[in-house]
Chain A
Amino acid sequence: MENRVVITGLGVCAPNGIGLEEFGKALAKGKSGIRFHQELKELNFSCQIAGRPDIESVDLNNYFTNLQLRGLEASGLIYGVISGKDAWEDAGLHVAGDNEPDWENGVIFGTGMLGVDRFRNAIYAVDSGNVRRSGSTTVIQTMASGISAFLGGMLGCGNQVTTNSSACSTGTEALLMGYEHIKSGKAKRMLVGSCSDSGPYIWGGFDAMRILPRNYNDNPESASRPMSASATGFVPGSGAGALVLESLESALERNASIYAEVLGGEVNSGGQRGGGSMTAPNSIAVQHCISKAIQNADVSANDIDVINGHLTATTKDPVEITNWTKALKRDGKNFPYINSFKGMFGHCLAAAGSIECVGTILQLKHQQVFGNVNCDDIHPEIAKVIDESRIPRKTFQHKSKIIAKASFGFGDVNACVIFRQYSKN
């Protein structure tokens, strides 16, 4: 028999809020985490604004030993550990004892690349013929799986501990991988999520592609404009989100509080065919992904109350909306509510899916739909296919039952998950 899978813990380290309370309030109020960064200006970036979690206020000794903190330069690792350990604690789970791991606990925590600042210093050491001086922690801070390795060790997980990577769909993909793992009975609890480093070495490649907004350096909070006619590109972000997935049986056994149920989802690729490319989605694949997710979740397209889109604030947002209307066979006033949190913290790249999944679940918890920011001028191509009332600009109370969340990434890869408010039946 297949297990039902529920969410029992959440953690987040986002540019506009660290921890569930701060993040939930920020989303409800439309608070921005996008700031001007002098460092980017000095390096001649066209886009000098970005979303970066403000970890100055966090006591890292609550998360790391002094030894782990020595020479720790991998910002994504720091964000990931904050969100992951917070989620674990939020779920009321314990850390395994010294002698034996908990064989039923695992980690799937994705990233794009880890520890670029550390990697940069290691490269300098190597290039100057001084590799022997680069220290013992270069590997653990720069291997992609460093994040799952750190978390698995800190929590004492004895089930699968791994890192996935699928560009901007990484976080949502991690969630679905963990879901499948528990559903098929291979583990009882999986910590899933993703993280992404901050800084010029991560963001520079996107600046070089000329796909970031250039005209908002003195007005950062207005720069990220999902679904807006004046959207000119995504604002780069960073951070981490984490969720504890658990078999319903295990959650009930230990009397855990349940945020929501994961009904199912789909991960696919457009194969860089049919209009898809390394950087653009094959729309048919996106529609398949959404339709299959709904089918796998065993719900009807008409049951979806709210969508949290990928919607990065590029000129491709109208294409995404059209894909949703085709996949759901719903449009105009009959379209679900749709939002994008990226207006508030930008596009957190590999961390986007997990941070936004946490925000999506908070909507169920608070019985709210969070408002979109910076889209008073809805893109005319969007307004043609869905009614403007479906794009809330203010947060409002709403008892959603079913929410769809999708993430799409470079490489023409897609992930869509369906969440439902938990009920016993």
Chain B
Amino acid sequence: MSEKEKRYQELKSIVANYLPDDVSAESISLQSHFINELNINSANLVDIVLDVEDAFDIMLENEDMDQMETVQDALRIVDSKIESRT
């Protein structure tokens, strides 16, 4: 599994914790919109950000969070943070 794929799987497992009971983890895809499609409460996006910070040892700014509408957005931000770190 590539590094990027690993990150995606890790991100999916984080996001899955914040799904409402009637949305299954299988429905998470790169294109999924956190609020409109996965029905994630906007307040919980904050918690996803904190978990992502812990998992990838990065820090996300408020502006990063504003851009984080889909799973792909989140992954892109994580990738760029990790890349700029090394």
Chain A interface (Cβ within 8 Å of chain B)?
A: 65-67, 70-71, 133, 135-137
Contact = CB atoms under 8 A, between A and B. Distances in A.
B21 A135 contact: no
Contacts of A65: 20-21
Contacts of A71: 47
A67 B50 contact: no
Interface string B6-49: 00000000000111110000000000000000000001111100
Contacts of B20: 65, 67
Interface of B: 17-21, 43-47, 50
A83 B19 CA distance: 26
A133 B47 CA distance: 9
Contacts of B19: 67
- Most interface-central of A65, A136, A137 (chain B CB within 10 A): A136
Contacts of A133: 50
Nearest to B42: A136
A136 B47 contact: yes
A80 to B, nearest CB: 21
A71 B50 CA distance: 13
22 contacts: A65-B20, A65-B21, A66-B17, A66-B21, A67-B17, A67-B18, A67-B19, A67-B21, A67-B44, A70-B17, A70-B18, A70-B47, A71-B47, A135-B46, A135-B47, A135-B50, A136-B43, A136-B44, A136-B45, A136-B47, A137-B43, A137-B47
Nearest to A98: B22
A84 B29 CA distance: 38
A239 to B, nearest CB: 27
A135 B46 CA distance: 6
Contacts of A135: 46-47, 50
Contacts of A70: 17-18, 47
A185 B43 CA distance: 36
Given A70-B17, A136-B43, 13 more contacts: A65-B21, A66-B17, A66-B21, A67-B18, A67-B44, A70-B18, A70-B47, A135-B46, A135-B47, A136-B44, A136-B45, A136-B46, A137-B47
Contacts of A67: 17-21, 44
B21 to A, nearest CB: 5
The 6 closest A-B pairs by CB, nearest first: A136-B43, A136-B46, A65-B21, A136-B47, A135-B47, A136-B44
Contacts of B17: 66-67, 70
Contacts of B18: 67, 70
Nearest to A140: B43
A126 to B, nearest CB: 15
Contacts of A66: 17, 21
Contacts of A137: 43, 47
Contacts of B46: 135-136
A142 to B, nearest CB: 14
B50 to A, nearest CB: 6
B19 to A, nearest CB: 7
Nearest to A66: B21
A153 to B, nearest CB: 12
A237 B42 CA distance: 36
A240 B29 CA distance: 42
Most chain B CB within 10 A, of A65, A67, A70, A71, is at: A67
A137 B48 CA distance: 12
Contacts of A136: 43-47
Contacts of B44: 67, 136
A370 to B, nearest CB: 40
Contacts of B43: 136-137
Nearest to A133: B50
B6 to A, nearest CB: 24
Contacts of B47: 70-71, 135-137
